[in-house]
Structures are given as C-alpha cells and as structure tokens.
C-alpha cells in the first residue's frame, strides 16, 4: 500500500515535469507553436461561431412567431381553374369570410385580408410597397402598434383613408420632406389620405406580406379598387386548446359548400415552431460538421508539426532513453505537448467563436445569449483532436532505437 502511494506520487511528479518540459519546448519554437495553435484555434472558432450563430438565428425567428402567439391559424385560399361547375364562384365575399367565426366556439376572431400589388405613387414618385385591404381586427391579431395617427376602423368601410408601414413612411418623407400624415397616396387613380403610421414591425413568415412596406386600406375599399382584388387570406385567433385537425376539417367542409373549386392551405405558429425546431437540429449538425472539418485540418497540422519535432529531437530522445527513460515516458512527453497545443488553441478558439457570434448578433440587432453547448463541444473536440493526431508522432518517437538516436546529428 505504501509502495502504491509512492508510485502514484512519482507518477504525478513525472507528469508535472513533462508539462514543464513541454512548455519550455513549445516556447523555444514560437513560430511553429503559433502555427499549430492557429490551426486548432480556427477550427474551434468555426465550430462555436457557426453553431452559436445558427442557434441565435433560429431563436430570433422562433421569438417572432411566439410574439404573435401560438393560438393563431392562417388560411390561404386558392381556386382551381379546372372546376367550371355551377357552384363555382370567383372569390370569397367578406360576409362569407367573417362567417367562419360561427363554425366553432374555439374561433375567437377572424381577420380576412386582401393583398394587391398595384402601383403606388406619391408626389410624382413611385412607392415600393403593396396594398393591403384589411379589417380593424388585423391590428390586434398581428399586434401592430402605431407611431402616429390611428388605424382603420369599422366606420371607414369605403372611406379613402389608409395606414402606412414604416418603410412607406420613410419613402414618402424622402420624396418631398413633408410629414406624410394627412398626405394622399395614389392607388390606381384613387387617392387615400394617410391616417396613421405603423411602428417598425418584425417580419414573420406567418403572414405572407411585409406590413412595413404596406398601405393598409379598408377591405371594402380594396375589393372595389382593383378588379383582381380577392380575399385569399384569412387569419383566425383561437381560444382554448382546440383539435386543429378537426377544426381544419370543419373549415374545409364549409368552403366546399361554397364552391368545390376552393383549395385550402393551413399554417399555425405552433406548427411552424415545430418545423423550425426540427430544422434547427439539422442546421446545427450541418454547421457543426463544417466546423469539425476545420478542426480536423488543424489536427493534421498539429501532427505534421509534432513529426518534425520528433525528427529534430532524436538525439534528445536517445539521451533520455540512455539515462533510463522508458518508451511510455517518451510517448507521454510528446502527447503532453500535442495536448497543450490543443488546449491553448481550443481555449482561444472558443473565446474567438463566442466573440464572433456576439458581433453577428450585434450587427443583426438580435439579443445575444451565451449558449453553453457550442463552446463545450468546440473545446472538447479540440482536445480530442490534439490527443488523436498527437498520438502517432508520440508513438513513433517511443519506437525509435536509442542507439540510432544518439548517432543522429
């Protein structure tokens, strides 16, 4: 038992000596050490930056969906041109769209809207934007806030008033330096007075139009402004925890009674969040794989440098063996050096990767969060790569003949 304790103490002393020798040897070849560390550093930074950046991007998209609430259901209505039956009709009427609320007690409110892309002009300048015909419910449904004025009301109907998105507001301001409030926008020969301005709205894949670049007019007015305008999109706010499949079946049946030519597509934030989470897992694996390739390249660089070190230090290896060093001591000596290289490179790489992901978040305007998993994975793989690629040079050094090593000049 005493002998075992002494052997353990001697082993720790030897390991400590190997670390000290490794540091001295690495410092004696600064350029070579720097290049080896650089390879591991770039690889680790790639893993951390790519995976963290992917996590930040996915989280930002998920936050946009969650900000709307998971109790929404979007309906996109298309009409098949092949159906010429007697019950076919050109488009859904507003009363028919609003009647969806009566299909289930789980439907709290209905917000149909019309999306049209006719030319918009103001003060002789074309505006880059779209026309949205909507009801006042859209404001609460999409959680819109106004920076100026008011939103359209149920009293507007065909009134020539509009609410503009932030991008349209900036375009109008740039056109003639006048406050857009109270100014008129030409929509296909119809003039709409600006009654309100929407605050910058975080775009979401849930709704198929960008409200920042929209001119929102009463839905009644939109339906008569353009002969091509049609209610093809409806958003529902749900209450409780309804069975979405059953609810969608009720809605499909309702539209089939109106016209057999209608084709419905459904989307909900809850479903989109699930899809995003699945895509996030695939993206994380893909980005991690790309970063791991960089680490492998760095590991090969470490192995090459260690092989050069073994060749240059043959005489030292021969002297150590002549003085009683065992083959495992020689192997451990070079393994410690490669491990130290990977430790330094992995640590600096993790720091650099976190810094890059922070800069990405700063540039994109995202909230930054430090994810523990990417740095942990990057650092762990770095250390493993150092040991794995350092083993062959260490093994080769331990198999050298001491007599040949002493003769080496």
Residue indicated by tokens 């060093």: 325
Q: Which pLDDT score, from 0 to 100, does residue 56 have?
A: 82
Residue with tokens 């192995």, as numbered in its chain? 303
Q: What is the mean pLDDT of the chain?
A: 81
In this structure, is the dihedral angle defined by the CA atoms of residues 218, 219, 224 and 225, taken in order, positive or negative?
positive
What is the structure's pLDDT at 169? 93
The per-residue pLDDT for 165 is: 92
pLDDT class for 65, splitting at 50, 70, 90?
low
What's 68's DSSP letter? Answer: H
B/e letters for 146-164, b = 16+ CB within 10 Å, e = fewer, are: eebbebbeeebeebbbbbb
Asked whether the predicted pLDDT for residue 112 surpasses 50, the reply is yes
User: What's the average model confidence in pLDDT over 318-345?
Assistant: 82
The answer, yes or no, to whether residue 290 has pLDDT greater than 90, is no
% of the chain residues with pLDDT over 70: 88
Predicted confidence band of residue 4 (pLDDT cuts 50, 70, 90): very low
Map 297-360 to HEC letters.
Answer: HHHHHHHHHHHHHHHHCHHHHHHHHHCCCCHHHHHHHHHHHHHHHHHHHHHHHHHHHHHHHHHH
Is it the case that residue 317 has pLDDT exceeding 60? Answer: yes
Tens of pLDDT along 233-244?
899 988 877 888
DSSP letter at 208 equals S
Is there a contact between 77 and 234 (Cβ–Cβ < 8 Å)? Answer: yes
21 — pLDDT class (breaks 50, 70, 90): low
CB 75 within 8 A of CB 251: yes
CA–CA separation, 308 and 300 (whole Å) = 13
First to last CA, the chain: 45
pLDDT value, residue 409: 59
Cβ–Cβ under 8 Å, residues 73 and 268:
yes
Task: Find the mean pLDDT for residues 88-115.
Answer: 85
Q: Is the pLDDT of residue 330 over 50?
A: yes
What DSSP string describes 146-205?
EEEE----TTTTT-SEEEE-HHHHHHHHHHHSS--TT-EEEETTEEEEEEEEEPP----T
Give the mean pLDDT of 303-331: 80
Q: Kindly state the average pLDDT of the residues 308-328.
A: 79
The whole model's pTM is what? 0.62
Considering only residues 137 and 2, tell me which one the structure prediction assigns the higher pLDDT: 137
Q: Is the pLDDT of residue 162 over 60?
A: yes
Q: What is the DSSP letter of 74?
A: E
> Beta 190-198 vs 214-218: how paired, if at all?
unpaired
Lowest mean pLDDT among 109-113, 268-272, 291-295: 268-272
pLDDT recorded at residue 14: 61
Per the CB < 8 A criterion, the answer to whether 223 and 91 are in contact is: no
């Amino acid at each position: 038992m005493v002998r075992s304790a002494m052997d353990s103490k001697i082993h720790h002393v030897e390991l400590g000596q190997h670390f000290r020798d490794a540091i001295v040897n690495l410092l004696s070849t600064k350029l070579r050490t720097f290049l080896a560390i650089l390879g591991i550093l770039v690889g680790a930074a790639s893993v951390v930056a790519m995976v963290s950046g992917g996590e930040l991007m996915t989280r930002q998209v998920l936050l946009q969906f969650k900000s709307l609430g998971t109790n929404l259901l979007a309906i996109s209505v298309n009409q098949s041109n092949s159906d010429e039956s007697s019950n076919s009709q050109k488009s859904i009427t507003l009363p028919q769209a609003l009647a969806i609320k009566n299909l289930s007690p789980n439907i709290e409110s209905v917000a149909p809207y019309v999306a049209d892309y006719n030319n918009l002009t103001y003060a002789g300048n074309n505006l880059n934007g779209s026309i949205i015909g909507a009801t006042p419910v859209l404001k609460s449904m999409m959680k819109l806030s106004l920076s100026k004025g008011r939103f359209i009301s149920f009293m507007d109907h065909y009134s020539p008033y509009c609410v503009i998105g932030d991008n349209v507001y900036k375009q109008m301001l740039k056109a003639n330096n006048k406050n857009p409030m109270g100014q008129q926008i030409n929509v296909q020969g119809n003039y709409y007075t600006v009654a309100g301005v929407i605050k910058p709205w975080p775009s979401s894949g849930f709704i198929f139009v960008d409200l920042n670049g929209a001119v929102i007019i009463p839905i009644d007015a939109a339906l008569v402004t353009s002969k091509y305008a049609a209610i093809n999109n409806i958003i529902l706010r749900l209450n409780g925890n309804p069975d979405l499949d059953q609810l969608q079946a009720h809605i499909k049946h309702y539209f089939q009674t109106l016209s057999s030519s209608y084709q419905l597509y459904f989307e909900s934030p809850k479903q989109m969040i699930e899809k995003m989470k699945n895509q996030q897992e695939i993206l994380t694996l893909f980005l991690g794989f790309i970063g791991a390739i960089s680490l492998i390249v760095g590991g090969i660089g470490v192995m090459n440098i260690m092989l050069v070190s073994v060749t240059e230090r043959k005489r030292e290896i021969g002297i150590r063996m002549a003085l009683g060093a065992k083959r495992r001591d020689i192997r451990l000596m070079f393994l410690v050096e490669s491990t130290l290289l990977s430790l330094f490179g992995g640590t600096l790489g993790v720091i650099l990767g976190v810094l890059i992901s922070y800069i990405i978040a700063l540039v994109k305007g995202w909230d930054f969060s430090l994810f523990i998993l990417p740095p942990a994975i990057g650092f762990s793989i770095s250390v493993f790569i150092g040991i794995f690629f350092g083993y062959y040079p260490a093994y080769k050094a331990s198999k050298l003949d001491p007599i040949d090593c002493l003769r080496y000049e």
